[in-house]
């Protein structure tokens, strides 16, 4: 953080904050302000005498007060707004509060509450710490990014969205900046990425949301979403500009529409350090749960039959990574593809099916594969029909179709599989393909489960089953930390696999009913473990621009801890 009146070295865990500002300017700077925690001597020297209540408090006392205020907030959105305002006035206190209550507050600062905050962005606007880039003013792109006041070596992460595929609510226009801010908040709380080493960005390319376009309060560009060549040129200008300005940063794509997400990732993944959480992050956390479950079944991964219900951006990303894991186990690529059956809204995807997207084509079954199947309509093969005929051992739901995994479907699967692996991953709960309690009931407790939404612990018979939540927060913070520690040149499939394998290795295999994945309360441990695996893999591949000398210490020293830094008070108006 380098500004005229404040200077903080964000590359080290124990940096000193230099301040030459005086008076109220300090109290409106989120990283410098510590409110009533300023000592009396500091107040006098910094020109804060009389600007704060008399009593000096500790950060622990501040935490108790703000947590009580948070707890009294009447709704999730009110809690979100309160946390946002806290971050804007005292960043250290915000992240300390978040890190100590991460499991409770993650659904507030991230999914599902952030969906409502995004929808209400223009109506509730009180400011946003991010960069807004308009397709109508590409000439302002470089100035907009440099006006954020970050130097080339000061940025580890850039999270960018064009807001077309926000969570389960679709096109949200300029409001998508909130998902970029929320994602970076998780990077900091879980992995210790310094909050002053990140940039949230929204690409305002218009919106097809008629509700937003017809709202007098909407703050984005008022026209339909731009597509085609002009859109691609804008994306290319953005990539070229940010990689030149911030050459060590990882570019994280978030909530792009299905028609662009795979295409953009494929275009740039071999040339820059880039990552798509909806594709690769979702896939990695699901693969981790699959690897943990497969160990419990005793059946080698290449022998499993995988049915993906909802082969969109996330579903195909999951299939790709599981297939690559099969390849690593020695199964030839073509044989690995043959272990998958993928569904879209029209049923089982077959090579001559209508509406098949380019990225789904590799998973389309040959027409010869389904000839002779006893089905009602060969052009629209249902989930139940496929389960009976394929006899899958792994059933993955990314369809957002509530209740799609019916009792008939689950019992048909369990009839031919001793330990069925079933993952209803759609969220929120209202979109989940099945309820864990039902899955346990319909399989006599034999099922191995991971879900997209949190479900906690469920008793079935004498066993308490802790339901794993396949939350991307178990993967992307550690991945970003590992990349930042070694300044990796690219994010490779090997690094994604290493992240998933490290996460799977944290599973407790010995207690009946144990979760397939760690609890969200262990995010700091998880992030550090994943980061080490990612950084070591990057180094092994020759992609580390800053090789590690002591991996454990290098990871630890890079994880910022939200504590008030020691102050060095410079003469008023002193230059950097």
**Which residues fall within 8 angstroms of residue 364, CB to CB, at 6 or more apart?**
342, 349, 350, 351, 353, 356
The answer to whether 221 and 209 are in contact (CB under 8 A) is no
Give the DSSP letter string of 428-485: SGGG-S--HHHHHHHTTT--EEEESS---EEEETTEEEEPEE--GGGTHHHHHHHHHH
Q: Report DSSP state, residue 564.
A: P
Residue of 110, 268, 497, 564 marked catalytic: 110
With tokens 């008030």, the residue in question is 564
Count CB neighbours of 160 within 10 A: 26
Eight-state DSSP code of residue 176: G
Question: Which residues, at least 6 apart from 415, have a Cβ–Cβ distance to it below 8 Å?
Answer: none
Question: How far is the CA of 324 from the CAs of 215, 321, 413, 471, 490, in angstroms?
Answer: 46, 5, 24, 21, 18
Residue 276, CB-side half-sphere exposure with 13 Å CA sphere:
25
Give the number of other CB atoms < 10 A from CB of residue 10: 20
* DSSP conformation class of 521: G
218 an active-site residue? no
Residues in the chain: 576
Identified catalytic residue from 183, 309, 363, 497: 183
**Cβ atoms of residues 342 and 287 within 8 Å:** no
Cβ(482)–Cβ(540) under 8 Å? no
The two three-digit tokens of residue 171, written as one number: 């096109």
Query: CA–CA distance from 129 to each of 100, 164, 199, 201, 472 (Å)?
Result: 23, 20, 8, 9, 23
Backbone angles phi, psi at 130, to 5 degrees: -165, -175
| Residue carrying the six token digits 């006893």 | 374
Q: Which residues contact 183 (CB under 8 A, 6 or more apart)?
A: 110, 159, 200, 252, 254, 277, 476
Give yes or no: 110 in active site.
yes
Nearest to 511 by CA among 548, 474, 457, 566: 457
Q: Indicate if the alpha-carbon torsion angle 426, 428, 434, 439 is positive or negative.
A: positive
**517 with 473: CB under 8 angstroms?**
no
- Residues with catalytic roles: 110, 183
């Amino acid at each position: 953080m380098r500004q005229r009146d404040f200077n903080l070295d964000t590359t080290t865990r124990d940096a000193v904050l230099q301040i030459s500002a005086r008076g109220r300017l300090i109290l409106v700077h989120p990283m410098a302000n510590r409110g009533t925690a300023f000592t009396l001597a500091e107040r006098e020297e910094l020109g804060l005498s009389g600007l704060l209540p008399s009593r000096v408090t500790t950060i622990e006392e501040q935490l108790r007060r703000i947590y009580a205020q948070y707890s009294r907030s009447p709704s999730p959105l009110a809690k979100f707004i309160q946390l946002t305002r806290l971050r804007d006035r005292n960043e250290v206190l915000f992240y300390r509060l978040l890190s100590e209550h991460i499991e409770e507050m993650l659904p507030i600062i991230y999914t599902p509450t952030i969906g409502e905050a995004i929808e209400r962005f223009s109506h509730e606007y009180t400011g946003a710490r991010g960069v807004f880039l308009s397709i109508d003013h590409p000439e302002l792109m470089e100035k907009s990014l440099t006006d954020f006041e970050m130097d080339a070596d000061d940025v580890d992460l850039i999270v960018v969205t064009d807001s077309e595929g926000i969570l389960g609510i679709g096109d949200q226009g300029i409001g998508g900046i909130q998902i970029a801010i929320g994602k970076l908040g998780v990077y900091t709380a879980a992995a210790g990425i310094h909050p002053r080493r990140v940039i949230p960005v929204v690409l305002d390319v218009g919106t097809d949301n008629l509700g937003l376009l017809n709202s007098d309060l909407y703050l984005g560009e008022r026209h339909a979403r731009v597509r085609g060549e002009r859109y691609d040129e804008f994306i290319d200008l953005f990539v070229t500009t940010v990689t030149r300005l911030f050459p060590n940063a990882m570019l994280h794509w978030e909530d792009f529409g299905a028609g662009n997400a795979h295409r953009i990732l494929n275009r740039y993944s071999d040339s820059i350090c880039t990552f798509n959480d909806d594709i690769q992050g979702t896939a990695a956390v699901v693969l981790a749960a699959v690897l943990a479950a497969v160990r419990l079944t005793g059946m080698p991964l290449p022998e499993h039959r995988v049915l993906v219900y909802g082969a969109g951006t996330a579903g195909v990303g999951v299939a790709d990574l599981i297939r690559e894991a099969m390849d690593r186990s020695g199964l030839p690529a073509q044989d690995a593809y043959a272990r998958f059956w993928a569904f879209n809204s029209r049923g089982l995807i077959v090579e001559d099916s209508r509406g098949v997207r380019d990225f789904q084509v590799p998973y389309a079954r040959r027409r010869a594969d389904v000839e002779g199947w006893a089905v009602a309509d060969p052009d629209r093969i249902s989930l139940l029909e496929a389960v009976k005929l394929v006899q899958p051992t792994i059933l993955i739901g990314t369809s957002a179709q509530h209740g799609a995994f019916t009792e008939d479907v689950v019992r048909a699967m369990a009839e031919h599989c001793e330990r069925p692996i079933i993952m209803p991953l759609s969220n929120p709960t209202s979109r989940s393909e099945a309820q864990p309690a039902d899955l346990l009931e319909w399989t006599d407790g034999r099922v191995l489960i991971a879900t997209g939404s949190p479900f906690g612990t469920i008793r079935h018979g004498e066993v308490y089953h802790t339901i794993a939540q396949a939350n991307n927060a178990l993967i992307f913070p550690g991945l970003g930390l590992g990349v930042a520690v070694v300044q990796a040149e690219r994010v490779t499939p090997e690094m994604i696999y290493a992240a998933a394998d490290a996460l799977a290795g944290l599973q407790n295999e010995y207690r009946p009913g144990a979760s397939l994945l760690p609890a969200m309360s262990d995010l700091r441990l998880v992030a550090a473990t994943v980061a080490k695996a990612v950084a070591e893999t990057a180094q092994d591949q020759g992609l580390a621009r800053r090789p590690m000398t002591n991996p454990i210490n290098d990871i630890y020293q890079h994880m910022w801890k939200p504590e008030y830094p020691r102050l060095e008070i410079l003469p008023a108006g002193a230059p950097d």
